[in-house]
Amino acid sequence: DQQVKQNSPSLSVQEGRISILNCDYTNSMFDYFLWYKKYPAEGPTFLISISSIKDKNEDGRFTVFLNKSAKHLSLHIVPSQPGDSAVYFCAAPRGMEYGNKLVFGAGTILRVKS
């Protein structure tokens, strides 16, 4: 039961352009979402999060948009840089009764070409 879905396994973008990574979820009880970034041979690192009381959160070049009615969120990276090339995971805590354990999507490999 994959409650968080990232349907695009990979994305290739030219340096300087916008990267848009998408994530869909099925559990309407999710009220907080996180994006993680992972380089090869390293652990995932926290990138940005959003609470369901907001529809947008911005941190420098990274913006996350949340559309609750569509159960969809997206991560925008503007402008994209070669160092952004990594795997990006969308995640959500399952809820207090599950100890807020994170459930992750399958990930999207982003390649930024210079």
Partner 1 sequence: DVKVTQSSRYLVKRTGEKVFLECVQDMDHENMFWYRQDPGLGLRLIYFSYDVKMKEKGDIPEGYSVSREKKERFSLILESASTNQTSMYLCASTPADRGRAGYTFGSGTRLTVV
| Region of 14-22, 42-50, 55-63, 77-85 interacting with partner 1 (CB under 8 A) | 42-50
Any contact of residue 44 with partner 1 (CB under 8 A)? yes
Give the C-alpha separation, 36 to 87, whole Å.
Answer: 8
Q: Which is nearer to partner 1, 28 or 114 (CB)?
A: 28
Of the candidate spans 14-22, 34-42, 56-64, 74-82, the one that interacts with partner 1 by CB under 8 A turns out to be 34-42
In the range 51-80, which residues lie near partner 1 by CB under 8 A?
Answer: none
| Residue 46 contacts partner 1 per CB under 8 A | yes
Query: Is 105 one of the binding residues for partner 1 (CB under 8 A)?
Result: yes
Q: How far apart are CA 76 and CA 79, in angstroms?
A: 9
Phi-psi region at 95: left, alpha or beta (left = phi > 0; alpha = psi -120 to 50):
left
Of 80 and 105, which has the nearer Cβ to partner 1? 105
DSSP 8-state secondary structure symbol assigned to residue 9: S
Report how far residue 13's alpha carbon sits from residue 20's, in angstroms, rounded to the nearest whole number: 9
92 touches 4 (CB < 8 A):
yes
Of 112, 61, 62, give the one whose Cα is nearest residue 85.
112
Which spans of this chain sit near partner 1 (rule: CB under 8 A)? 4, 6, 9, 32, 34, 36, 41-46, 49, 89, 91, 93, 99-107
